[in-house]
Chains A and B, each alone.
Chain A
Amino acid sequence: MKPQPTHIFQKDISNCGLTGFISKKGTRVEGSVIIKSISLMHDRGNGLGGGFGAYGIYPEFKDFYAFHLMYENAMAQQLAEEYLDANFHIELQEDIPTRRTKAIANPPVFKRYFATPLETDEYREAVEYQGMTDSDIIVRHVMAINHEIEGAFVVSSGKNMGAFKGVGFPEEIAEFFRLEEYSGHIWTAHNRFPTNTPGWWGGAHPFTLLDWSIVHNGEISSYGINKRYLEMYGYLCTMLTDTEVVAYTLDLLIRKHGLSPALACTALAPPFWSLIDQLPQNERDLYTAIRQIYGSALLNGPFAILFASNKGLIGLNDRVKLRPLVCAEKDDFVYMASEESAIREICPAPARIWTPRGGEPVIAMVEGNV
Chain B
Amino acid sequence: MKINAQGIYYRDLNSTIREAVLAGTDQIELNNVNGQYFIGDGINKPVTITINGVPGNDLAAFMNGATIIVNENGQDNIGNTMNAGKVIVHGHAGDVLGYGMRGGKIHIRKDVGYRVGIHMKSYQENKPVLIAGGKAGDFFGEYMAGGVLILLGMFTDDPAKDKHGYLFGTGMHGGVIYVRGGVDESRLAKEVGVFELDDDDRAALEGYVAEFCQDFKLDVQEVLKERFVKVLPRSKRPYGNMYCPMPK
Contacts and interface: CB of A to CB of B under 8 A. Distances in A.
A associates with B: yes
A278 B54 CA distance: 38
Contacts of B75: 339-341
Contacts of A345: 34-35
Contacts of B157: 352-354
A142 B158 CA distance: 44
B165 A357 contact: yes
Q: Which of B54, B92, B138 has the most CB of A within 10 A?
A: B54
27 contacts: A40-B34, A40-B35, A320-B138, A321-B95, A321-B113, A321-B137, A324-B76, A324-B94, A324-B95, A326-B94, A339-B57, A339-B76, A340-B94, A341-B34, A341-B54, A342-B35, A344-B35, A344-B54, A353-B92, A353-B157, A355-B94, A355-B95, A355-B137, A357-B137, A357-B138, A357-B165, A358-B137
Nearest to B37: A43
A107 B139 CA distance: 45
Given A342-B35, A344-B35, A353-B92, 15 more contacts: A43-B37, A275-B166, A321-B113, A339-B35, A339-B57, A340-B75, A340-B94, A341-B56, A341-B75, A344-B53, A353-B157, A354-B158, A355-B95, A357-B165, A358-B138
A339 B166 CA distance: 23
A95 to B, nearest CB: 34
A293 to B, nearest CB: 25
Contacts of A344: 34-35, 53-54
Contacts of A352: 157
Contacts of A41: 35
Q: Which of B35, B113, B186 has the most CB of A within 10 A?
A: B35
Interface in B129-149: 137-139
Contacts of B114: 320-321, 358
A117 B236 CA distance: 67
Q: How large is the interface on B (under 10, 10 to 19, 20 to 34, 35 or more residues)?
A: 20 to 34
Contacts of B54: 340-341, 344
Going nearest first, the 8 A-B pairs with the smallest beta carbon separation are: A341-B35, A341-B34, A321-B114, A341-B54, A40-B35, A340-B54, A344-B54, A344-B34
Nearest to B91: A353
Nearest to B73: A340
Contacts of B139: 320
Interface of A: 13, 40-41, 43, 275, 278, 320-321, 324, 326, 339-342, 344-345, 352-355, 357-358
Contacts of A324: 76, 94-95
B229 to A, nearest CB: 21
B56 A339 contact: yes
Interface string B20-42: 00000000000000110100000
Interface of B: 10, 34-35, 37, 53-54, 56-57, 73, 75-76, 92, 94-95, 113-114, 137-139, 157-158, 165-166, 186
Contacts of B186: 278
A231 B37 CA distance: 42
A354 B165 CA distance: 15
B140 to A, nearest CB: 13
Contacts of B137: 321, 355, 357-358
Nearest to A343: B54
B73 A353 contact: yes
A358 B157 CA distance: 18
Contacts of A358: 114, 137-138
Contacts of A321: 95, 113-114, 137-138
Nearest to A354: B158
Contacts of A357: 137-138, 165
A324 B137 CA distance: 13
A353 B157 CA distance: 8
Contacts of A355: 94-95, 113, 137
A320 B157 CA distance: 22
A15 B244 CA distance: 36
Contacts of B57: 339
B101 to A, nearest CB: 19
B80 to A, nearest CB: 12
A150 B34 CA distance: 45
Contacts of B53: 344
A321 B116 CA distance: 13
A227 to B, nearest CB: 29
B190 to A, nearest CB: 11
A355 B165 CA distance: 13
A340 B36 CA distance: 12
A43 B34 contact: no
A112 B158 CA distance: 45
Contacts of B138: 320-321, 357-358
A43 B58 CA distance: 13
A43 B76 CA distance: 15
Contacts of A341: 34-35, 54, 56, 75
A41 B76 CA distance: 14
B110 to A, nearest CB: 10
A336 to B, nearest CB: 14
A266 to B, nearest CB: 17
Nearest to A319: B138
Nearest to B34: A341
